[in-house]
Structure formats: structure tokens, C-alpha cells
């Protein structure tokens, strides 16, 4: 690596580590090396005429490389375990429904399988985690989060989760992208605004509009 790129990484190491810190259970040095690749890609594509700060421009490149690495690094070991749990849940749900005439809630499944509720939810979706569903947004002085649009008092029933997944497919591509960034990729409104060349206020308004749309479809 030439001196110019080495200095680039040294000057921006705090930015790289700030991204890596989002994944505390991963090896931080490995993530740093991957993040540095994203930084270099950003540097090679950056144009000062864009009018954006380099750090702002580089952030999604670094985050993208780190996310790609963590996803690929854990996909095999997680997918096998989650797939097995998903199949077990499906079999148990059939028996439960025959007896109770309703699907088991996530809490009930968690108790039966002795697994954390988050594992149960991940198995149901068999893909991205939904930990950010409780993250609030503020619009007109009111807080709203993705779980608020689920028509269940606990927001945990499997039927509601599956209804939500179906409702998401009825959103426009732009709306799906916004939900993906916010609630699956765990990006802040400010980060999304930077990526989409919008203001944070515009992102907040669009997000509020999408959540109201989902609420209408689900209720």
C-alpha cells in the first residue's frame, strides 16, 4: 500500500472504528481492515465538485463493506441453526393451532423452545433481524415506531408479523428502500439523508408517511 493510502487510513481511522463499533461481537481488527477497503473505494470515487464532505461520502462505503463482511461471515453458521428452528416452529405451530385454534405467540414459542424471542422472530423471517422495530421516530410531537403499525396489543403475534411482511411488498420501491435502510440496516435518518441526497427532515416526513400507510393496510 502506498504512503498516500496509508495516510488516508490513519487520518480516517476514527471514522472506520465508529462503523466497526456497531458490531461489538465481531473481531474489531478484522472489521477495520474491511472498513479500510471501503474507505479506499470511496477515496477513488470521490469528487470534490460534489460539494459533500469526504467523511460524509465515505461513510456508506465503509458501512457497506463492513455489513457485507459480517453478513457473509455469519451467514453459514446462522442460517443452518435458524433454518432448523424455523422448521421446528412450523411443525409446532400446526399442532398448536389444532388445539388452540390460533397461532402461538412469539412469547409462547420462546417458552416452548427455550430460546430468546429475538431468535424466534429471526427464524420466522429467516432473514434480517428486526431489532430496530422499536426505534422511535418523532413527527408532530408524536413518537411512532414500526411495531406500532402491527394490530396486536403486544406486537408479537406471528400472524401480525407475517401480515407486516406481506404489507411491505405492497410499498413502492422507494418506500421499501427507506424501511430497509431504517429498520433492517439500522441506519439513522441523518445517514439515510446523506446517502439519498435529502435533508433529515425530508427523511423523517417520508418515514412517517410510510408508517401511516402500513398502519392503514394492517388495520
Joined together, the cell numbers standing for residue 124 give 420466522
- pLDDT-derived band at 79 (thresholds 50, 70, 90) equals low
Round to whole Å and give the CA distance between 207 and 82: 30
DSSP string, 203-217: HHHHHHHHHHHHHHH
pLDDT at 200: 87
Distances (CA, A) of 101 to 55, 98, 144, 161: 55, 6, 32, 18
pLDDT at 192: 81
1-27 mean pLDDT:
87
Longest dimension (CA), the chain: 69
Between 133 and 78, where is the model more confident? Answer: 78
Q: What are phi and psi of 49, to 5 degrees?
A: -70, -10
Give the count of beta carbons closer than 10 Å to the beta carbon of residue 1: 9
Round to whole Å and give the CA distance between 55 and 182: 20
User: Which residue ranges form the domains of the chain, and what is each CATH number?
Assistant: 128-219 (1.20.140.160)
pLDDT at 151: 44
pLDDT at 121: 75
Q: Percent of the chain at pLDDT above 90? A: 15
Round to whole Å and give the CA distance between 18 and 201: 24
pLDDT at 213: 84
pLDDT at 130: 37
- pLDDT-derived band at 74 (thresholds 50, 70, 90) equals low
Round to whole Å and give the CA distance between 7 and 2: 9
For 172-197, write each residue's pLDDT tens digit.
888 887 887 777 666 778 878 877 77
For 85-132, write each residue's pLDDT tens digit.
888 888 888 888 888 878 888 888 889 999 887 778 777 765 434 334
Q: Are 217 and 192 in contact (CB under 8 A)?
A: no
44-58 mean pLDDT:
83
pLDDT at 38: 92
Amino acid at each position: 500500500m502506498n504512503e498516500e493510502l496509508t495516510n488516508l487510513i490513519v487520518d480516517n481511522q476514527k471514522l472506520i472504528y465508529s462503523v466497526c463499533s456497531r458490531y461489538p461481537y465481531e473481531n474489531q481488527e478484522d472489521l477495520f481492515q474491511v472498513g479500510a477497503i471501503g474507505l479506499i473505494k470511496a477515496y477513488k470515487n470521490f469528487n470534490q465538485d460534489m460539494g459533500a464532505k469526504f467523511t460524509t461520502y465515505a461513510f456508506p462505503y465503509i458501512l457497506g463493506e463492513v455489513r457485507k463482511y459480517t453478513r457473509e461471515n455469519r451467514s453459514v453458521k446462522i442460517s443452518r441453526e435458524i433454518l432448523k428452528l424455523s422448521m421446528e416452529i412450523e411443525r409446532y405451530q400446526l399442532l398448536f393451532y389444532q388445539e388452540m385454534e390460533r397461532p402461538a405467540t412469539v412469547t409462547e414459542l420462546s417458552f416452548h423452545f427455550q430460546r430468546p424471542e429475538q431468535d424466534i422472530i429471526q427464524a420466522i423471517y429467516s432473514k434480517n433481524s428486526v431489532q430496530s422495530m422499536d426505534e422511535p421516530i418523532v413527527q408532530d410531537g408524536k413518537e411512532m415506531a414500526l411495531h406500532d403499525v402491527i394490530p396486536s396489543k403486544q406486537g408479537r403475534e406471528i400472524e401480525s408479523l407475517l401480515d407486516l411482511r406481506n404489507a411491505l411488498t405492497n410499498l413502492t420501491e422507494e418506500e421499501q428502500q427507506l424501511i430497509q435502510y431504517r429498520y433492517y440496516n439500522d441506519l439513522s435518518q441523518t445517514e439515510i439523508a446523506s446517502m439519498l441526497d435529502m435533508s433529515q427532515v425530508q427523511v423523517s416526513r417520508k418515514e412517517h408517511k410510510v408508517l401511516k400507510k402500513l398502519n392503514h393496510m394492517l388495520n
